[in-house]
């Protein structure tokens, strides 16, 4: 749906795209679903490559790609009902053309069914699949005619399959959630993942600007702003084109950070002269939160394992202007002797299965496998056995993940308390009232949408002694 002309400041600006927006979306889908690339990185790459797209086209591209990825299991189920050739037997490009077309038919009311079908046929021709244009046309037309009468698996007969298809979630994840939380709460979690009206969560950097200045700036650019659900420093925004266009973002007044993950910085016992080590810090949200809380003083060591991750933290630091954060490319499993017994706080927001962030990273549910959870839990323990040694006596370790898998959360917290010289710190009194009832013993498991967004886990520990 390319636009040939764009209005800007009362003038008409002409630009040309060498590809249609649907072609760009198709290439994105092939990268994500066929080649295993990450959805957010692919979209960022495409937005940067095709900077001449106007705001409407960018929004269309983002909605089409993210929506198709998010609903892919249901879409495949529908396609298989009305295609003689099963989805997994089709050519990759044909498969992605059909998925995008069916998503438009089922979920994009502003796209006429005829346009979804015609554009799918055009994509087949553009991508040297002319002999298959009749097949594409036939499948999409069948879906248009019959999809509203498609029989879905019944909850009473097969609850796992029912929820899997209805909410586009792999069956193994549905089964895990049902075992942990039961049918009703599992359905609430899955519905929360598919909430299209969440917007994006921002945290205000009050060192750089007041809340009033930030909200006023966003409103002046036509952005819809709501207060956070849990923390006063959080905002949720909708109705913007690109973050890079927002004055508040460019000036470093705000940082993208889901509200549930703000808990780490909010409860961290830091003072203006504290030493903090953030061992897996990219993209830098928690380090910057603590830098803001420490008013730019003290010392924060922010580390991550690759040059690209460290570069991402650096870009956010340059934008936000904090100078009390020192960066290091470092594998958290490797010990740094000179850091031993130096930190007041160690932030260990460790690599995890990511089952709590499926709502805004939908491709995670296709990439993660049950065996990955066990492997990640082992990796987390390697890191924890190493980084607790950075703490001073009475220093605090904050262990967190963005998953809702017990092996990485509750079981890991129990392992820490039983195997490391650390004692759990009760969280009840440190949390806002809205979250206090969610505390389970000495840790908190936030399910998706409890805090307005992601699933998140946090446990805090104090070091009992230091090695001589």
Bridge partners of 463, per DSSP, are 422
Which two tokens mark 66? 């993210």
Of 117, 204, 280, 402, the catalytic one is 402
Contact in structure between 190 and 174 (CB atoms under 8 Å): yes
CA–CA gap between residue 307 and residue 129 (Å, rounded): 40
CA–CA gap between residue 125 and residue 139 (Å, rounded): 16
CA–CA gap between residue 393 and residue 389 (Å, rounded): 10
CA–CA gap between residue 24 and residue 57 (Å, rounded): 11
Contact in structure between 330 and 305 (CB atoms under 8 Å): yes
Q: Which residue bears the tokens 């993942």? A: 193
CA–CA gap between residue 201 and residue 316 (Å, rounded): 16
CA–CA gap between residue 399 and residue 349 (Å, rounded): 6
CA–CA gap between residue 138 and residue 195 (Å, rounded): 31
CA–CA gap between residue 138 and residue 132 (Å, rounded): 10
402 part of the active site: yes
- What is the three-state SS of 239-292? CCCCHHHCHHHHCCCEEECCHHHHHHHHHCCCCCCCEEEECCCCCCHHHHHHHH
Contact in structure between 444 and 458 (CB atoms under 8 Å): yes
Contact in structure between 232 and 432 (CB atoms under 8 Å): no
What's the Cα-to-Cα distance from 440 to each of 73, 186, 274, 347, rounded to whole Å?
A: 33, 18, 29, 21
Quick one: CA torsion of 358, 150, 29, 92, rounded to 10 degrees?
130
CA–CA gap between residue 376 and residue 380 (Å, rounded): 6
Active-site amino acid positions = 402
């Amino acid at each position: 749906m390319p636009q040939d002309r764009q209005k800007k400041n009362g003038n008409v600006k002409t630009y040309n795209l060498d590809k249609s927006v649907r072609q760009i979306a198709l290439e994105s889908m092939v990268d994500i679903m066929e080649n295993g690339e990450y959805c957010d990185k692919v979209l960022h790459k495409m937005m940067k490559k095709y900077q001449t797209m106007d705001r409407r086209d960018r929004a269309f591209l983002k909605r089409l790609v993210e929506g198709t990825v998010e609903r892919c299991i249901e879409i495949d189920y529908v396609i298989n009902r009305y295609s003689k050739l099963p989805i997994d037997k089709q050519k990759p490009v044909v498969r992605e053309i059909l998925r995008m077309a069916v998503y438009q038919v089922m979920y994009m009311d502003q796209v006429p069914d005829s346009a979804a079908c015609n554009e799918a046929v055009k994509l087949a021709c553009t991508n040297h699949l002319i002999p298959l244009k009749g097949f594409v046309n036939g499948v999409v037309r069948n879906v248009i005619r019959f999809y509203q009468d498609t029989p879905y698996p019944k909850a009473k007969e097969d609850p796992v399959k029912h929820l899997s298809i209805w909410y586009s979630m792999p069956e193994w994840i549905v089964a895990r959630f049902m075992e942990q939380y039961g049918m009703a709460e599992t359905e609430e979690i899955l519905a929360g993942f598919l909430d299209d009206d969440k917007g994006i969560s921002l945290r205000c950097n009050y060192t750089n600007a007041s809340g009033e200045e930030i909200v006023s700036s966003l409103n002046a650019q036509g952005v819809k702003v709501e207060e956070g659900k849990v923390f006063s420093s959080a905002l949720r925004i909708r109705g913007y084109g690109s973050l890079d266009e927002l004055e508040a973002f460019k000036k470093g007044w705000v940082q993208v950070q889901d509200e549930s993950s703000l808990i780490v910085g909010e409860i961290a016992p830091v003072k203006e002269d504290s030493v903090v080590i953030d061992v897996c810090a990219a993209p830098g949200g928690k380090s910057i939160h603590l830098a803001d809380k420490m008013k730019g003083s003290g010392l924060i060591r922010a580390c991550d394992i690759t040059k690209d991750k460290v570069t991402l933290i650096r870009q956010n630091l340059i934008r936000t202007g904090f100078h009390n954060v020192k960066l290091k490319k470092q594998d958290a499993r490797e010990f740094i002797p000179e850091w031993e017994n130096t930190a007041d706080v160690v932030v260990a927001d460790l690599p995890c299965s990511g089952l709590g962030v499926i709502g805004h990273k939908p491709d995670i549910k296709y990439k993660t496998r049950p065996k990955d959870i066990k492997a990640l839990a082992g990796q987390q323990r390697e890191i924890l056995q190493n980084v607790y040694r950075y703490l001073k006596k009475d220093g605090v370790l904050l262990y967190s993940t963005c998953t809702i898998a017990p092996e990485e959360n509750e079981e890991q917290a129990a392992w820490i308390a039983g195997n490391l010289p650390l004692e759990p710190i009760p969280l009840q009194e440190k949390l806002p009232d809205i979250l206090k009832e969610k505390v389970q013993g000495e840790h908190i498991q936030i399910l998706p949408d409890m805090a307005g967004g992601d699933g998140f886990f946090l446990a805090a520990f104090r070091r009992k002694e230091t090695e001589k």
